[in-house]
Amino acid sequence: MVTETKVGAFECSLLRGTATVTITHAVHYSSRQGTKEPDKMGQVNFDCDNANNCGVMDQKGCFDWTKCVHPKSPRRPK
């Protein structure tokens, strides 16, 4: 399985500023008429470099994604 990772900026209301978010997707490619096209993408990882500044990550390093306002966050404790 091929993965693609994208790093992007997100205007986070909890930070009142910009957060750096990394999202990794598992991608399945199909070959149609000699060209490869992605036909399935599933999110396999979500990370935020600023989670310790907004309250999503506690002092022990545990994440509570239910607090995260990003639309693609896992939204469940890990």
The answer, yes or no, to whether residue 31 has pLDDT greater than 90, is no
Residue numbers of the domain that contains 22 = 2-50
Q: Tell which wins on pLDDT, 54 or 27.
A: 54
Does residue 20 form part of some domain?
A: yes
Does residue 57 form part of some domain?
A: no
Does residue 63 form part of some domain?
A: no
Does residue 72 form part of some domain?
A: no
Q: Given this model, what pLDDT does residue 10 score?
A: 97
CA distances from 10 to 22, 32, 49, 78 (A): 10, 34, 11, 22
In this prediction, what percent of the chain has a pLDDT beyond 70? Answer: 86
Q: Tell which wins on pLDDT, 5 or 33.
A: 5
Q: Residue 25: left (phi > 0), alpha (psi -120 to 50), or beta?
A: beta
What's the burial of 75, exposed, middle or buried (CB within 10 Å: 0-12/13-18/19+)? middle
Amino acid letter, 58? D
- pLDDT band at residue 45 under the 50/70/90 scheme: very high
Q: Which two tokens stand for residue 36?
A: 């490869």
